[in-house]
Amino acid sequence: MISEFDPAVSDSSLYDICIVGTGPAGITLALELANKGLKILLLEAGGLDYSAESQDFYQCESVGHEGWPQLTRLRFFGGTSNHWSGRCRPFDSSDFDRASINNLPGWPIRHSELNKYLSRSMEIVDLDECQGFTAINNEILGGHFYPDKSAQSPPTRFKDKYIESITNHKNIQCLYNATAVDLMLDKGHKKAQSISVNNYRGGQAQFKATKFILALGGIENPRFLLNCKSQIKEGIGNTHDMVGRCFMEHLNVPLGTFIYRDPDVFSQMQFYTDSQFSNKYDIGQSNITLSIVKAVKSYGRTREIKNFFKNIACQMELSDKVSYISDFKCPGMGNISTLMEQSPNLNSRVMLSNDKDAMGLQRAKFDWQLNDYDRRTIMTIGQKFAKEFKKADLGIVRLEEFVIHDDKQTDSKFSRHAHHMGTTRMSKSPKYGVVDENSKVHDLENLYIAGSSVFPTGGACNPTMPIIQLSLRMADHLA
Amino acid sequence: MDQGISRRQALKCFSCAASSLLLTSQFTAPKSELPSRIKYIGGGFYSVNGWVVSKRELNLN
């Protein structure tokens, strides 16, 4: 069943598993575990729909590169799946082969451990397993640039698709407007015993469970752990000061522009660099997208001039002759953009701000940083790609200056994909990560973390599919 | 005899002249504003102000 959290009528019984968060990870886990006969408490901090009051809890202090963490996430039932674009692409097996990047270990599990959950994950996000993952263009380029394969979910809105199943499931108790604010540990600090939950009116209750799973996303997972300092001052799971470190995004870098020789042949194209290429140059993986520009945009004074001419043209009935100034476009002209892997980096991190939210919890302090490895990835991918474009005689290409010259402008030239990863990374050793191979927090016997915050590396694929695969794997482990 | 032109004709002349200037300014600029930055980027290719060109296109055979 599903209901608004009311501390006065809360159930004090012991649940098998308490799951915090109702995004793709939380909902997948709740249904899988409930179907296996476990009694589940599912908590959603927000309501059933968007509200400004709930969304305000995602306000962050941003001190590094701007990642818009307060806008790219949604805090209500279904989580960020409520505005997910739907692009799906699983990890490559090579993503699991790299022993270390920047002196930090890679994945401690094999690709096969996720791959066996691929078909079930596809079903969850309404993908046709028979169709699989397909490329939108042929093999055109050499030099290890291959057509990228992906699949497009409708996209599945987890709230719309699964709220009825959760409401009607006899093994699931789902509470909304229920913000988890603290986790109470036993005396030895080895086991979580109960979770403190607040509503917006100051009410609070404790819920007991045998196991707990945090599925709050790449920024809120570490924020919650760091805020749990009533018993451990550095926060839960943070013995080695790894909670919140290694924040990774996928870099959206405007590498340059191009003009196709034959604009009628191509529309959008996507390429992927293989692992041989990444290993050779010691750089991250990348997806490169070529998109035709439909109309050149203009800004500032240029736009004012264009508007001035537009007005005159209309007055003088010369609009046809002047329109090419305002809506100038060149057939076949387009932009080169990327979904590029960022390396794990201890200095790129989520911490706690001194600012507090309405429940008195410290807000996230978000410090997104790039390092030399990432700058090398950008320059190498850009230059190698441009040369292959020329060799294939597709047209002419112009790279941005920062891709050519190492003049430190790179850091102001990229943007985000809203993929928040790495902040409770998976590692065999607690020295290099927060969770173990089963996504269990190293420091505790019964606390698990779901979602992309456990990714030790992010590859160059959209994270939703691997998040669901990892959730299914966790459900099998816990059942 | 009055040699003046109508407001409509004046606007038309101004519009055409300004259009020419605007378009011209998009494709040419004083040399002092565009110093060439040439760099060899490997594989027989150079970057000239970001444009990727082959050695052959630069007549450097």
Containing structural domain, residue A426:
2-128+155-249+344-370+420-478
Average pLDDT, integer, range A44-64: 97
CA distance B57 to chain A (A): 11
pLDDT band at residue A333 using 50, 70 and 90 as cut-offs = confident
Percent of chain A at pLDDT exceeding 70: 91
Asked if the model's pLDDT at residue A323 lies above 70, the reply is no
Q: Which of A8-12, A138-142, A190-194 has the highest mean predicted lDDT (pLDDT)? A: A190-194
A317 conformational bin, left if phi > 0, alpha if psi -120 to 50, beta if neither: left
CATH number, residue A50: 3.50.50.60
pLDDT at B60: 65
Model confidence at A287, in pLDDT bands (50, 70, 90)?
very high
Lowest mean per-residue pLDDT among A46-55, A229-238, A300-309: A300-309
B4 at A interface, C-beta within 8 A: no
Q: A320 vs A240, which has greater pLDDT?
A: A240
Contacts of residue B15 in chain A, CB cutoff 8 Å? 309, 312-313, 316, 318, 322
Q: Tell me which DSSP letter residue A212 carries.
A: E
Q: How confident is the model at residue B22 (pLDDT cuts 50, 70, 90)?
A: very low
Cβ separation B43–A305 shorter than 8 A: no
B19 CB near a chain A CB, below 8 Å? yes
ipTM above 0.85, yes or no: no
pLDDT in tens, A80-99: 999 999 999 999 999 999 99
pLDDT band at B23 (very low <50, low <70, confident <90, very high): very low
Q: Which chain A residues have any C-beta within 8 angstroms of a chain B C-beta? A: 256, 305, 309, 312-313, 315-316, 318, 322, 325, 383, 386-387, 389-390, 396-401, 403-405
Nearest in space to A216 (alpha carbons), one of A357, A347, A73 = A73
pLDDT at B21 over 60: no
pLDDT at A48: 98
Q: Tell me, what DSSP letter sits at residue A421?
A: B
The minimum CA-CA distance between B50 and chain A, rounded to whole Å, is 5
Across the interface, do A401 and B23 touch by the CB < 8 Å criterion? no
pLDDT category, B1, cuts 50, 70, 90?
very low
| Range with the poorest average pLDDT among A38-47, A127-136, A430-439 | A127-136
Give chain B positions within 8 Å (CB) of A397.
51-52
Q: What is the dihedral of CA A448, A453, A455, A457, to 10 degrees?
A: -160
Structural domain contains residue A282: no
Cα–Cα distance between A105 and A457 in angstroms, integer? Answer: 9
Distance separating alpha carbons of residues A475 and A472, to the nearest angstrom: 5
Closest-CA residue to A217 (of A364, A333, A98): A364
At A293, the pLDDT band (50, 70, 90 cuts) reads confident
Q: How far is B11 from chain A (nearest CA, A)?
A: 8
Residue A324 lies inside a defined structural domain of this protein: no
Gap from B37 CA to chain A (nearest CA, Å)? 9
Q: Return the pLDDT at A411.
A: 77
Q: Which of B15, B23, B52 sits opposite A387 (nearest CB)?
A: B52
pLDDT for residue A208 is more than 60: yes
The reported pLDDT for the residue numbered A324 is 46
Rounded mean pLDDT, A288-299:
73
Choose between B34 and A303: higher pLDDT.
A303
Residue A285 lies in a domain: no
Domain count, chain A: 1
CB contact under 8 A, B11 and A316: yes
Answer yes or no: are the C-beta atoms of A152 and A86 closer than 8 Å: yes
In terms of residues, how long is chain B? Answer: 61
Burial category of A295 from C-beta neighbours within 10 Å (exposed 0-12, middle 13-18, buried 19 and up): exposed
- Chain B residues within an 8 Å CB radius of A305: 22
**What pLDDT digit, counting tens, does each position of A405-427 carry?**
876 677 778 889 999 999 999 99
Across the interface, do B37 and A383 touch by the CB < 8 Å criterion? no
- Mean pLDDT along residues A242-259: 96
- B51/A383 CB distance under 8 A: no
* For residue B17, pLDDT beyond 90: no
Contacts of B34 (CB under 8 A, 6+ apart): B49
In this prediction, residues A248-252 reach a mean pLDDT of 97
Among residues A241, A390, A317, the alpha carbon closest in space to that of B52 is found at: A390
What integer is the mean pLDDT of A257-277? 86
Using CA atoms, how far apart are residues A162 and A177, in angstroms rounded to an integer?
Answer: 18
What residue has token string 């439909």? A294
Whether B43 contacts chain A with CB within 8 A: yes
By C-alpha distance, the chain B residue nearest A258 is B51
Evaluate whether residue A409 is within a structural domain. no
Question: Average pLDDT of chain A?
Answer: 92
Highest mean pLDDT among A5-9, A165-169, A258-262: A165-169
pLDDT: which is higher, A224 or A410:
A224
Residue carrying the six token digits 């263009």: A137
Quote the minimal CA–CA distance from A398 to chain B in Å.
Answer: 4
Give the residue with greater pLDDT, A316 vs A228: A228
- Out of B22, B39, B41, closest to residue A305 by CB: B22
pLDDT band at B28 (very low <50, low <70, confident <90, very high): very low
pLDDT for the residue numbered A409: 74
pLDDT at B14 over 80: no
Rounded to a whole number of angstroms, the distance from the CA of B24 to the nearest CA of chain A is 12
Q: Please tell me the predicted confidence (pLDDT) of residue A459.
A: 96
> Nearest CA of chain B to the CA of A386: how many Å?
7
pTM of the complete model: 0.87
Longest pairwise C-alpha distance within chain B: 72
The beta-carbon neighbor of A404 closest among B19, B47, B53 is B47
B52 → closest Cβ in A309, A316, A390: A390
Grade residue A229 by pLDDT with cuts at 50, 70 and 90.
Answer: very high
Q: Do A316 and B12 touch (CB under 8 A)?
A: yes
Nearest residue on chain A to B23, judged by CA atoms?
Answer: A325
The residue ranking higher by pLDDT, A140 or B31, is A140
**What per-residue confidence (pLDDT) applies to B3?**
45
- Residue among A86, A87, A60, A85 at smallest CA distance from A71: A60
